[in-house]
Amino acid sequence: MPNQKTLSIIKPDAVKAGHANAINLMIENAGLKILKKKELNLTTEQAKEFYSIHSDKPFYNELCNFMTSGPIIVQMLEGENAIELYRKVMGATNPDDAEENTIRKKFATSIQENAVHGSDSEENALKELNFFF
Ligand code: ATP
Ligand code: MG
């Protein structure tokens, strides 16, 4: 398995609720290293660009409003097979479908306010890491 880097975002719902440390414990317990971390507020312009792949979806505007509603924590993760491994630790997009012991099962409150983001491919991981770091 290749050593990879991926982008993690702790979304406004989870930062606001004080779940960041618990989420990062789950990430580290899965064997992933947090190489870089910063807290920031996305501008509307940044949110629109970051999620431009979803610009034709009915939830795009709401998603951008949510992502700018409070501070987020962006992180560079590293590890063996990090992209897929972190997606596994996050769990399904909709917390109703997420497996036990996943971040979203524990901390997501809806399909939109689902606590975390993770890159879904090597190409997107590179793009998204460059976007923030
Ligand atoms: P992420 O990209 O945040 O890691 P994901 O890859 O599991 O999550 P995507 O399909 O890429 O899910 O959707 C991006 C984000 O858009 C989701 O994480 C969620 O916050 C929001 N979202 C997705 N589907 C819906 C929906 N049907 N209604 C509202 N919000 C949604
Ligand atoms: Mg996605």
| pLDDT tens column, 69-123 | 999 999 999 999 999 999 999 999 999 999 999 999 999 999 999 999 999 999 9
Stated pTM of the model: 0.97
Does residue 2 or residue 72 have the better pLDDT?
72
Domains of the chain: 3-41+71-132 (3.30.70.141)
Angle (deg, nearest 10), helices 20-29 and 82-90: 130
pLDDT digits (tens, 9 = 90+) for 59-71: 999 999 999 999 9
Which residues' Cβ are closer than 6 Å to ligand 1? 54, 59, 63, 93, 111-112, 114, 117-118, 120
Beta bridge partners of 9: 74, 117
- Return the pLDDT at 53: 95
Residue 117 falls in the annotated catalytic set: yes
Which of the four pLDDT bands, split at 50, 70 and 90, describes residue 26? very high
CA 79 to chain centre: 16
User: What distance in angstroms lies between residue 24's CA and the mean position of ligand 2's atoms?
Assistant: 19
User: What distance in angstroms lies between residue 114's CA and the mean position of ligand 1's atoms?
Assistant: 8
